[in-house]
Amino acid sequence: MGAALVAIIFGSPWAGVLVLSIVLVLQGLLAGDGGITALGVNIFNMGVVGGFVGYYGYKSLKKVNGKFAVCIAGWASIFIAAIAATFELTVADTFPLDMDLFYMGGFHAIFLFSMID
């Protein structure tokens, strides 16, 4: 959701990609979290997909309600990135698509309810 929020605040999905790329590189190098070998996929899923879905989702919904638009755009950035990861895991032959969509998609779909006040 970080890439989506940065993209919304700075008015560019590329800002979200840049900031999240820096965060993921530092996280991988300093904390060993995420790892360097998965850096490209993590940047694509969380930065590119998250930033673009969040920004354009917000842009299309902001006329309805600003707070609602940020909430839905942030959730959509997480959900669509998780769905992209399921297809990547299937292509890598690490997990079957049907189970992955059920568990990853289901968990991230329910995540919306934790964001509602």
pLDDT single digits (tens) 89-112: 899 888 888 888 888 888 888 876
Mean pLDDT score, 65-76 = 88
Tell me what pLDDT residue 101 has: 87
> Which residues, at least 6 apart from 26, have a Cβ–Cβ distance to it below 8 Å?
none
Residue 33 predicted with pLDDT over 80: no
Mean pLDDT score, 20-33 = 88
- Measured CA to CA in angstroms, residue 69 lies from 47, 53, 102 at distances of 19, 12, 26
Tell me what pLDDT residue 37 has: 84
The distance from CA 93 to its chain's CA centroid, rounded to whole angstroms, is 22
- Measured CA to CA in angstroms, residue 51 lies from 24, 30, 74, 84, 105 at distances of 14, 24, 9, 13, 19
Question: What is the model's pTM?
Answer: 0.84
